[in-house]
Amino acid sequence: MGDRTGIALDLDITIRNVNDSCNVLEGAIVDIWHCDKDGNYSEYGGGGMQQISFTNDHFLRGRQTSNSDGLVEFATIFPGWYNGRSTHIHVHIYNASGNSLLVTQIAFPEGDNSAVVRVNAASDQGYIKGMSGYSYHTRDNVFSDGVEEELASVSGSVSEGFTLTHDIYVSA
């Protein structure tokens, strides 16, 4: 997490191999990265969509190898959002040899009582943008074609933190 603050989010991502009857894939290398509560990424910025430069900073990025259950687990914070995008997490999956299998993104459920709405109302936790100007999936420049394969399950609360669970299918 680096020096980033926010509401706790545990990620439980299971990697499944479509070439093996969708059984779990052990040994997959999984990279994740996402923006902070203010919509900023590490290793990026100084113009365009992110005015603040964090090009020399490293936060909210991680790498793990899937275990015998195909699972990787990350402890992070709930991402914020930025113009044109709904709340999301980037994922790049490699096989054990380091060859790219899939680059994708994880979408968060939306709706009146969704975690996205509850977190963005948590100004006392530093999420000060609210939902005004938020780009829902239907207007998101990546998810507008649908989120059927990218949509995770999210449970929990602002006070206790959230858990995201998601299965990602690769051809390995």
pLDDT confidence tier of residue 119, bands split at 50, 70 and 90? very high
The DSSP secondary-structure symbol of 151 reads B
- pLDDT at site 81: 96
Residues in contact with 21: Cβ distance below 8 Å, sequence separation at least 6, in sequence order: none
- pLDDT at site 37: 96
* Superfamily the domain 8-170 falls into: Aromatic compound dioxygenase (2.60.130.10)
Extents of the domains making up the chain: 8-170
Asked if pLDDT for residue 42 goes beyond 70, the answer is: yes
Secondary structure class of 102 (helix, strand, coil): strand
Q: What's the angle, vertex CA 145, arms to CA 139 and CA 149, rounded to 5?
A: 115
**Both ends of the chain: CA-CA distance in Å?**
30
Q: What's the angle, vertex CA 29, arms to CA 72 and CA 151, rounded to 5?
A: 55
Asked if pLDDT for residue 46 goes beyond 80, the answer is: no
Number of Cβ within a 10 Å radius of residue 160: 9
Pairing, β 8-17 against β 161-170: parallel
Place of tokens 């998810």: 143
Q: What is the mean pLDDT of residues 96-115?
A: 97
Asked if pLDDT for residue 1 goes beyond 80, the answer is: no
Give the residue among 132, 149, 126, 109 at the shortest CA–CA distance from 18. 149
- Give the integer Cα–Cα distance in Å for 18 and 16: 6
pLDDT tens digits along 86-101: 999 999 999 999 999 9
The DSSP secondary-structure symbol of 135 reads -
